[in-house]
Amino acid sequence: MSEVVLSTGGTGGHIYPAVATARELLKLGHRVTLLGQLGGMEERIAAEQQLPFFGVQAGKLARSGQGRADPRELLRAGRGLIEARRFLGRLRPAVVVGFGGFASLPGVLSAQSLNIPTVLHEQNARLGLTQRLAARRAKAVGTAYPTIAGLPAGKGVLVGMPVREERLERAEALARLGLDPQRLTLLIMGGSQGSLALNNVLPEVLRAALPNGESPHGPVQVLHACGQRWLSNVAPRVADLPWYTAEGYVDAVAAWSAADLAITRAGTGALAEAAFHGVPTLMVPLPESAENHQLFNARAVEASGAGQVIEQQHVSAQMGAAVLECVAPQRRRTMHSAALARTPAGATRRLTELVLAHARQEAP
């Protein structure tokens, strides 16, 4: 069986698709290693998932205030390339898969320098900078959207966004989370580490929009995954609201299985989870996302009818009314059907098949 290296890191949106792909490859009898930033989130998640991990230094491809690359980051990136090249030279995997983000670049570029086949997965509606650097020499690029801006001709294969394909019955999910089965559930997910901007605004917006947890269409409860580091700020502000629960971290499968409506950023990971579970989504794209890719993602979902975009500067003014509009039964049913039509079910299998199709049959 083949040895496959999955190069990933930086954010949950890059890491969890790699974990899902690793699980699929292991089921098929292949050997896998995650390669990412030493000390990054990916190292912790690999340990939690009991997956082999090799860490290298990784420099961010960011610009300084003068518009020049930070030389310290360039030095780290150079060291990471050397470390990754040595590792891959010893292991000689059949294929290396890059999931985007600066932490994936050392593994992918090193593989290409060693003539090891590479396959990329692009999760956004626009090809990211790190993926653009590697796309020309990649064998193929699995995509999460039908149309990807910046993708070289002939490289793209639509596979979807790999997610954890598990659901719970709504009653079981609500029971696990300690929520009221008689209330509609509004889930707030600000990304793998929470969103300070959403945390700062949403408790007060929803307190005003849902007095006593009531809407014109029935009672509502809020499950707010605010990020562990922000919990001490958010929890006291909603402590007097029995219908508003703030948690640092939630079980994603249970939370999405319980949700009737969600407020999220517009990373493709969150949007894919929402689609798999059929959850209508009010999307607040991260304004600082690389090349504004979250806004492109959100607009694609909005065009499908599965969600609505509210830009960050308008959250205070517009979110309350949007929540009340989207909990209306007919509106929610329409958006639910549109979300299910975008489901990424089978994406992990399709990406795995694409990877194996380009793997060397025998590593030298």
Whether residue 332 sits in one domain with residue 188? yes
Give the residue numbers of the binding site for UDP-N-acetyl-alpha-D-glucosamine.
11-13, 124, 164, 192, 294
Residue 362 placed within a domain: no
Check which CATH number belongs to the domain holding 36 and give it. Answer: 3.40.50.2000
Whether residue 186 sits in one domain with residue 89? no
Whether residue 352 sits in one domain with residue 302? no
Residue 151 placed within a domain: yes
Whether residue 213 sits in one domain with residue 97? no
**Number of compact structural domains in the chain:** 2
Residue 188 placed within a domain: yes
Q: Which amino acid is at 110?
A: S
Contact 106, 56 (CB under 8 A): yes
Which pLDDT does position 69 carry in this prediction? 60
pLDDT digits (tens, 9 = 90+) for 11-68: 878 898 999 999 999 999 999 999 999 999 899 999 989 999 999 988 665 544 445 6
Residue 290 placed within a domain: yes
Which pLDDT does position 288 carry in this prediction? 85
DSSP annotation of 328 reads S
- 66 versus 193: which is more confidently predicted? 193
Which pLDDT does position 192 carry in this prediction? 65
Residue 253 placed within a domain: yes
Whether residue 130 sits in one domain with residue 242? no
> Residue 88 is encoded by which pair of tokens?
């891959």
Contacts of 342 (CB under 8 A, 6+ apart): 275, 301, 304, 306
Whether residue 310 sits in one domain with residue 189? yes
Whether residue 87 sits in one domain with residue 14? yes
Whether residue 248 sits in one domain with residue 150? no
Computed over every residue of the chain, the mean pLDDT equals 91
pLDDT digits (tens, 9 = 90+) for 169-185: 999 999 999 999 999 99
Which pLDDT does position 64 carry in this prediction? 41
Whether residue 104 sits in one domain with residue 207? no
Whether residue 147 sits in one domain with residue 178? no
pLDDT digits (tens, 9 = 90+) for 80-114: 999 999 999 999 999 999 998 888 999 999 999 99
Whether residue 315 sits in one domain with residue 230? yes
CA–CA distance, 35 with 88 (Å, rounded to integer) = 10
Which pLDDT does position 213 carry in this prediction? 97
CA–CA distance, 154 with 159 (Å, rounded to integer) = 15
Whether residue 312 sits in one domain with residue 217? yes
Q: DSSP letter string over 180-203?
A: -TTSEEEEEE--TT--HHHHHHHH
Which pLDDT does position 61 carry in this prediction? 59
Residue 327 placed within a domain: yes
Q: Which range marks the domain in which residue 113 is found? A: 3-162+345-357
Residue ranges of alpha helices (H) inside 224-328 are 231-234, 252-258, 268-277, 293-304, 315-326
Residue 49 placed within a domain: yes
Question: How many other CB atoms are there within 10 angstroms of residue 297's CB atom?
Answer: 28
Give the residue numbers of the binding site.
11-13, 124, 164, 192, 294
Is pLDDT at 147 greater than 90 in this prediction?
A: no
CA–CA distance, 274 with 276 (Å, rounded to integer) = 6
Burial classification of residue 72, based on how many CB atoms lie within 10 Å of its CB (0-12 exposed, 13-18 middle, 19 or more buried) = exposed
pLDDT digits (tens, 9 = 90+) for 292-338: 888 988 998 999 999 999 999 999 999 999 999 999 999 999 999 99
Residue 363 placed within a domain: no
